Structure 1
Amino acid sequence: MSGSASELARRLGEHAEAVCREYLSNGHRSGNYWMVGDARNTTGRSMHVRLKTSTKGPAGKWVDEATSEFGDLLDVIRESCGLVDFRDIADEARRFLSMPLPPPQLPGRQPAAKRGSPDAARRLCAMSQPIAGTLAERYLASRGILLSTHERALRFHPGCYYRDLVTGETQTLPALIAAVTSLDGQITGLQRTYLSPGLDPSGKVGKAQLADPRRSLGDLLGNGIWLGHQPGAPVPVMAAGEGFETMASLKAVMPVLPVAAATSANHLAGLRLPPGCRRLYIAADADAAGRHGIERLSQRAGEAGILALALRPQLGDFNDDLRHLGPAHLATWLSDQLLPEDARLFLPAG
């Protein structure tokens, strides 16, 4: 750990209980320790934070008996706030300690990953976990989307950092993390869907009550959230669309069809298509908001010798169809829009 990081960790340790009350609010004090579920502020007792220096070690050090993880209060700030870059973690620690921010970085020093950069996206993905058994899996199920838990693009972070762009206020919320990748499988960005920590009246997991519960970062243009695509493998037939849930809904009823979500209409227009692609199904919504992206992608596909065909939902979008009409009805609706050989290949028998 660098000297500045060590100094910040030491200063935080001097105020260990205050740090825990701020960032580990789901825990409680027990003797000389703060007890909580983990560094992401989950309810529980497996993580112990030492509040005062003793013969056992300095204040601020912690260990999670369930996972054997350990660290200091900078790690707590990183995990509980969902931060990725050390500069952001240090700035948050200084804010808490009411310390002045450091001067601009001197030329010649290795810069930290820029906020919103592909490096930041890769680090946040690495900090996340597979979706199996998490709120993210339950959220998708509540949307009717049942996917393989082995989809590499999908991750879950239990305490992802969220900043209100109007007020500047921050909070941590669970989030579904969807990695945006290039055709060779390199992570270039991601999309975060912030989730409500609790269940709605129907017992389902919904989006967090935010003005913008879905945010993206990184290099998105030309890349996409790929489901069912192995980097480097031929993709003779695929589907593409704007929204992740739209494409995940199609994937739920056509599990062997590779699909890509471009995250916006403009990014859909610039989506890079894999070599060897012969047919491209483009998912459209019932409204005309994404028409430009669809038309531009169709034009580019045609110029590359790829047959582009539109798939249209019966309701507002394919997730509406999946939730309100059911997977069997959606499959029947799609069978009339796919070429016969593709319907036989990608739709379940019967």
Structure 2
Amino acid sequence: MARDASDLAQRLGRNAEAVCREYLSNGRREGRYWLVGDVQNNPGRSMFVRLKGTESGKGAAGKWTDAATGDHGDLLDVIRESCGLLDFKDVADEARRFLSLPQPEPDPQPRPRPRPSSAPAGSPESARRLVSMSQPITGTIVETYLRKRGITALHGTGALRFHPRCYYRPDSYSPTETWPAMIASVTDLDNRITGAHRTWLSPDGSGKAPIDTPRRAMGDLLGNAVRFDRATQVMAAGEGIETMLSLRMALPHMPMVAALSAAHLAAILFPATLRRLYIARDDDLAGDNAMASLVERAQAVGIEAITLSPRLGDFNEDLRTLGIDALRAAVRVQIAPEDVARFMQMAA
């Protein structure tokens, strides 16, 4: 099956634009990529499909990534998701039909279908199960990883957990691997777990695991976030976990949330008591768009919105490159004067 899948994926890749026009018709070509909302063919621009590239490997034609979710795959995944197919046989049959290839001879002794999991992969329930199987980060390589990134203030990080052997599968047709991982629970405003975020790590905690996509999210993410302390009247929000933990080095008592992507940052839900929102923007186009959308939403409901800008790409880069003193000084002049004494005292 793996060889058949690889051959079909390569054949589809040679016709990547035609495949996209057939199965991702709500998108359009821009340069070397096809842009669309997601793999289910919803309108938008967060998913991009490579139209030209090598036959196989990371830069192969037909490979795609959804920037909003971190999901990725090949054109067989596009056919499966856009057509709502479940079994590989049905996906392969549809791919052969599109490529005008002969269908295989029927299996005289069809194998029984595997029993479905009690919790569908990627569901909120499977996310809750993953979090429950993980352990606190104290004394684990998650602490090592964060300290390597300059993050030493780890108070209020109960949302972060450690899993020593978290499953990782490069794509639907590759063997499953296991790597240690930092698990972050994604919760709603009532602190119910709706999803999880995985950062696979190298075994010694010196960095991320040497895999193509060391970060992936699962579950119900829209509007929800990874939370560091419970917000009341004031809160800071940003994209990445490390970005917000770096900002907490300068503002150790301010509640913060990590939305995990620019698209999800723009859609975070506001606590009913929130009066001032600090938006930690990443210095890129996606970060600017998310910031503008979030400012507009906050102001529409009477919440004061203040943008916090890094000097470099993001606040973790500022922390690691410029140091904690420079980060505190830069943040101090960007926050409201009354919040300096309230949230910057006793910085770690």
TM-score, normalised by the number of residues in structure 2: 0.65
Report if aligned partners of 1:238, 1:281 keep a CA contact under 8 Å in 2.
Answer: yes
Distance change >3 Å, CA 174–CA 149, structure 1 → 2? farther
Cα distance, 1:236–1:172 mapped onto 2, change above 3 Å: same
Question: What is the aligned partner in structure 1 of residue 220 from structure 2?
Answer: 219
Aligned to 1:321: 318
1:272 matches 2:272: no
- Structure 2, unaligned runs of 5 or more: 1-110
Is the 1:174–1:196 Cα contact (8 Å) retained in structure 2?
A: yes
Q: Residue in 2 aligned with 1:164?
A: 170
The residue aligned with 1:298 is 295
Seen in structure 2, the aligned counterparts of structure 1 residues 119 and 329 have a Cα distance that, compared at 3 Å, is: same
Residues 156 and 228 in structure 2, CA contact (< 8 A), matched pair in contact too: no
Where do residues 31-180 of structure 1 align in structure 2 (5 Å cutoff)? 102=113, 112-148=118-154, 151-165=157-171, 168-180=174-186
Task: Give the root-mean-square deviation of aligned CA atoms.
Answer: 1.9
Q: Which amino acid aligns with 2:258?
A: A
Q: 1:289 aligns with which of 286, 290, 295?
A: 286
2:154 alignment partner, SS class = coil
User: How far does the alpha carbon of each residue in 1:4-53 deviate from its partner, in whole angstroms, 9 at most, with x for none?
Assistant: xxxxxxxxxxxxxxxxxxxxxxxxxxxxxxxxxxxxxxxxxxxxxxxxxx
> Residues 176 and 193 of structure 1 are in contact (CA less than 8 Å); yes or no, is this contact kept in structure 2?
yes
Helix, strand or coil at the partner of 2:271 = coil
1:69 aligned residue = none
Q: Give how far 1:152 is off.
A: 1.6
Amino acid across the alignment from 1:220: L
| Cα distance in structure 2, aligned partners of 1:162 and 1:171 | 5
**Partner of 2:89 in structure 1?**
none
CA contact (8 A) 1:160 1:174 kept: yes
Q: Please give the alpha-carbon distance, in whole angstroms, between the structure 2 residues aligned to 1:161 and 1:123.
A: 13
In the TM superposition, residue 332 of structure 1 has moved relative to its aligned partner by 0.6
Distance in 2 of aligned mates of 1:113 and 1:157: 19
Residue 304 of structure 2: aligned partner: 307
* TM-fit CA distance, 1:278: 0.7
CA distance in 1, matches of 2:296, 2:195: 26
Q: Secondary structure of 1:198's partner?
A: coil
The superposition leaves residues 208-249 of structure 1 with CA deviations (integer Å, 9 ceiling, x where unpaired) of 1111100000000000000122xxxx6111100111111111
Partners of 1:318 and 1:285 in 2: CA distance: 8
- The verdict on how the C-alpha distance between 1:349 and 1:193 changes in structure 2, with shifts beyond 3 A counting, is closer
Q: Which moved more, 1:271-280 or 1:246-255?
A: 246-255
Q: Displacement of 1:258 after TM fit?
A: 0.4
Output the CA distance in 1 between the equivalents of 2:277 and 2:193.
Answer: 23
Matched position secondary structure for 2:285: coil
Which of structures 1 and 2 has the larger relative contact order (alpha carbons within 8 angstroms, sep 6+)? 2
CA distance in 2, matches of 1:310, 1:150: 23
- Write the deviation string for residues 139-159 of structure 1: whole angstroms up to 9, x where unpaired: 011111123355220000000
Which of 251, 254, 260 is the equivalent residue of 1:254?
251
Shift in Å, 1:348:
2.8
Q: Tell whether the 8 Å contact from 1:132 to 1:149 is kept in structure 2 after alignment.
A: no
SS of the counterpart of 1:207?
Answer: coil
For residues 345 and 188 of structure 1, do their structure 2 counterparts lie closer, same or farther at Cα, with a shift above 3 Å needed? same
| Structure 1 residue 103, shift from structure 2 partner | 5.3
Give the equivalent residue in structure 1 for 2:209.
208
Per the alignment, in what secondary structure is the counterpart of residue 138 of structure 2? coil
The question of whether the paired residues in 1 share the 8 Å contact of 2:312 and 2:318 is answered with yes
CA distance in 2, matches of 1:119, 1:307: 35
How many residues were matched structurally? Answer: 238
Normalised to the residue count of structure 1, the TM-score between the two structures is 0.65
Residue 238 (str. 1) matches residue 235 (str. 2) = yes
Please point out which of 331, 339, 348 is paired with 2:345: 348
Flag the structure with larger Rg.
1
**SS across alignment from 1:290:** helix
User: What percentage of aligned pairs have identical amino acids?
Assistant: 50
- The question of whether the paired residues in 2 share the 8 Å contact of 1:193 and 1:215 is answered with yes
